[in-house]
């Protein structure tokens, strides 16, 4: 029986291959020492592609690419040349194997972290992994197998293995004690990691999952997103003195992960167990002399893209590089998890040289592979990040690729006669990034670093020259439109910048007419508001109370998602407003309110990684749906947050009506837990 991924590759590539060569593919299953390796031989007018199932799929698509077929961007169509770039006889003996065994993406789109165009693009470009939540495998697992994308469930997994619904009522001791109370994971808590019966149950549930889903590549056992760590005596006893000083939980996470891995080694010796090196447990491996052989570590990094990861001159990258090498000293099962497009949307991203340098350095260290978050094709990020993701895909397969050569290739394939000026355009964008030594961290003001006046002028000249050579080229027109959006953004964003202080209105006006102040919630990357779905704000401040009245306009108000309960994850998963208020006496302490469009809300007191979702407050919250907006009123006694005459705050709107979340905030995209960035209400 032919493997599903071979069938899918033949369905996609077969007609293109016949059109270009008149020949047929013949898959030949063979065992391979290297998964994904393939060999081609041309006989009797047919091209035989030999390898394991993954090798045949990748071989078929690599043959197309050798013939000049390209798929740079899942938001666009496959580019098929007028004539093949290689003769059939040149394919005889064509053989390759991947530089990295783990090659994938986390698709941040749709209801199930999946969009088929992105999945097909990944398969075409020879990826073989996709981050997948355990329940999602039941929904998209069959399709992933057709595409050759093995699920990696190294996700926030505690609540997926020990569910509130199944265990909280009967075994509340399995769950975190926060503020003296056992709280469910839906209310922002973790598990009580020290509880031996919980560990036994966790291992039993995981064993059953492995039995039911043997096709999954890696079984994740990672903490839930956020904090809410257990404060019971036995859990805190697992923390090291350094953990307690730094508000971290490396010790307890290391103890738990080692225990679960040991149990799985006995019950399921062929299963790989996945865990993050991330957040406040990034150094958990430091507390284990030897990492379990069945443990796969996802090394999460958010780094400077001006410098390669191994550049010792970079203050941002150097400590991460050292941490990664320390981990590598304990395990060979390590892959990189990066955030290429996160918080930068469709802004310029000429970082393909840095991407290439990173992969070359990773291969020398025998890093297992790579994963990055990628949005759905409707997201503006693909407009500027397709060269980055495409370069990464090519480097995953063959780390000997040169990023500049890849760039010249996409200019030839996409822009035809305009390849030369477009090559100059992309190189000009690159030159501004690498002109100085400043780190590129995707901060809002980094746009001016990438697009100084001289770069704007030269890029405009290159695009104009290209348009004269290829006036009907749609891809070229789209690139020019993207460039104009950047130039327009630089001229407009100052208009929406928030003041450092806001004059709070008297509470006597709270029930009066709605007269919004000149305040805008903006996207972090663009620093522009969504005026089609604008958010209007009124801030109230008295000696005793802080208050907000807000209107959230929505062109798709009937499709708005409402939380069913006031559980934190329910509210956050729907349309919501986040209100953060700084403690008036304790630096670094803030209070976080999550409020849904139907008035359901959750609140916590936050100090570093200690989020107390049991925090009691006296907030007065109402929300009401209208024909074209929803409106919110919020009042809180200042005594609840130790505030004096002034009060510091930040506002976030998580706008989610079509399955693609847009985050807007005041000021500058929102300061979240960084109280130093809050506005002051006087």
Residue 352's nearest CA partner among 417, 302, 300, 408 is: 408
Give Cβ neighbours of residue 426 (< 8 Å, ≥ 6 apart). 350, 387, 407, 411
Mean pLDDT of 569-576: 93
pLDDT at 436 over 90: no
pLDDT at 5 over 80: yes
pLDDT of res. 659 = 58
Domains contained in the chain, CATH given = 4-96 (no CATH), 100-123+135-150+301-401 (no CATH), 416-492 (no CATH), 497-681 (2.60.40.1190)
End-to-end CA distance of the chain: 72
Give Cβ neighbours of residue 153 (< 8 Å, ≥ 6 apart). 131, 132, 133, 134, 137, 216, 218, 219, 220, 274
Pairing of strands 334-338, 369-375: parallel
Contact between 566 and 660 (Cβ < 8 Å): no
User: How many angstroms separate the Cα of 669 from the Cα of each of 30, 315, 641?
Assistant: 53, 25, 23
User: How many angstroms separate the Cα of 210 from the Cα of each of 138, 204, 268, 274?
Assistant: 14, 10, 8, 13
Residue 512 and residue 535: Cα distance in Å, rounded? Answer: 19
User: If pLDDT is split at 50, 70 and 90, which confidence band does 154 have?
Assistant: very high
Each residue of 307-348: pLDDT tens digit? 999 999 999 999 999 999 999 999 989 999 999 999 999 999
pLDDT of res. 2 = 82
Max Cα–Cα distance, the chain, nearest Å: 89
Tokens 């020259």: give the residue.
465
Each residue of 211-254: pLDDT tens digit? 999 999 899 999 999 889 999 999 999 999 999 999 999 999 99
pTM reported for the whole predicted model = 0.95
Helix (H, G, I), strand (E, B) or coil at 239: coil
Query: Which pair of tokens denotes residue 71?
Result: 């798929």
Angular region, 184: left φ>0, alpha ψ -120 to 50, beta rest: beta
CB atoms within 10 A of CB 512: 11
pLDDT of res. 609 = 86
Tokens 């998890």: give the residue.
337
Name the H helices within 470-580: 474-492, 568-572
Residue 555 and residue 96: Cα distance in Å, rounded? Answer: 51
């Amino acid at each position: 029986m032919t493997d599903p991924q071979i069938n899918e590759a033949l369905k996609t590539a077969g007609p293109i291959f016949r059109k270009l060569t008149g020949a047929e593919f013949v898959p030949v299953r063979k065992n391979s020492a290297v998964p994904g390796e393939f060999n081609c031989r041309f006989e009797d007018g047919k091209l035989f592609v030999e390898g394991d199932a993954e090798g045949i799929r990748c071989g078929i698509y690599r043959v197309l690419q050798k013939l000049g077929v390209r798929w740079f961007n899942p938001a666009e169509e496959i580019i098929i040349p007028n004539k093949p770039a290689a003769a059939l006889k040149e394919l005889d003996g064509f053989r390759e194997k991947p530089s990295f065994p783990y090659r994938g993406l986390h698709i941040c789109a749709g209801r199930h972290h999946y969009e088929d165009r992105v999945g097909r693009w990944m398969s075409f470009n020879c990826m073989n992994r996709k981050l997948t939540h355990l329940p999602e495998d039941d929904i998209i697992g069959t399709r992933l197998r057709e595409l050759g994308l093995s699920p990696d469930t190294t996700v926030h997994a505690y609540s997926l293995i020990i569910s509130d619904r199944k265990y909280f009522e009967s075994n509340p001791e399995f769950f975190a004690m926060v503020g003296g109370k056992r709280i469910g994971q839906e209310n922002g808590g973790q598990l009580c990691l020290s509880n031996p019966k919980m560990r036994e149950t966790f291992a039993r549930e995981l064993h059953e999952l492995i039995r039911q889903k043997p096709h999954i590549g890696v079984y994740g056992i990672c903490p839930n997103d956020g904090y809410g760590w257990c404060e019971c005596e036995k859990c805190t006893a697992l923390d090291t003195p350094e953990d307690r000083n730094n508000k971290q939980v490396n010790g307890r996470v290391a103890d738990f992960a080692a225990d679960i891995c040991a149990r799985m080694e006995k019950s399921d010796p062929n299963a790989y167990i996945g865990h993050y090196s991330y957040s406040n447990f990034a150094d958990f491996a430091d507390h284990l002399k030897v990492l379990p052989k069945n443990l796969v570590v996802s090394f999460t990094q958010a780094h400077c893209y001006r410098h390669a990861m191994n550049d010792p001159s970079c203050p941002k990258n150097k400590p991460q590089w050292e941490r990664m090498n320390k981990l590598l000293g304990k395990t060979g099962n390590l892959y990189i998890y990066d955030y290429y497009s996160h918080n930068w949307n469709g802004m310029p991203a000429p970082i393909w040289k840095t991407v290439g340098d990173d992969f070359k350095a990773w291969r020398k260290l025998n890093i297992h592979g790579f994963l990055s978050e990628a949005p759905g094709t409707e997201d503006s990020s693909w407009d500027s990040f397709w060269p980055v993701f495409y370069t990464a895909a090519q480097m995953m397969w063959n780390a000997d690729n040169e990023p500049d050569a890849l760039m010249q290739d996409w200019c030839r394939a996409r822009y035809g006669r305009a390849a030369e000026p477009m090559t100059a355009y992309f190189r000009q964008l690159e030159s501004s990034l690498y002109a100085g030594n400043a780190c590129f961290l995707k901060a809002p003001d980094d746009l001016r670093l990438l697009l100084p006046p001289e770069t704007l002028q030269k890029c405009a000249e290159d695009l104009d020259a290209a348009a004269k050579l290829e006036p009907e080229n749609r891809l070229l027109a789209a690139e020019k439109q993207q460039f104009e959006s950047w130039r327009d953004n630089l001229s407009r964003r100052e208009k929406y910048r928030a003041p450092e202080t806001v004059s709070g209105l008297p509470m006597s006006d709270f029930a009066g007419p709605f007269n919004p102040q000149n305040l805008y919630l903006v996207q972090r990357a663009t620093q522009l508001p969504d005026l089609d779905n604008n958010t209007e704000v009124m801030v109230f401040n008295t000696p005793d109370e802080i208050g907000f009245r807000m209107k959230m306009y929505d062109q798709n108000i009937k499709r708005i998602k409402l939380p069913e309960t006031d559980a934190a994850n329910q509210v956050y998963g729907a349309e919501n407003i986040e209100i953060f208020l700084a403690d008036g006496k304790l630096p670094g302490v803030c209070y976080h309110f999550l409020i849904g469009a139907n008035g359901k809300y959750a609140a916590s007191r936050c100090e570093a990684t200690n989020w107390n979702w049991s925090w009691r407050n006296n907030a007065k919250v109402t929300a009401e749906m209208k024909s074209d907006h929803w409106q919110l009123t919020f009042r809180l006694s200042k005594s609840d947050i130790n505030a004096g005459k002034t009060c510091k705050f930040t506002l976030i709107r998580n706008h989610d009506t079509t399955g693609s979340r847009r985050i807007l905030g005041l000021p500058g995209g929102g300061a979240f837990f960084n109280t130093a960035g809050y506005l002051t209400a006087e």
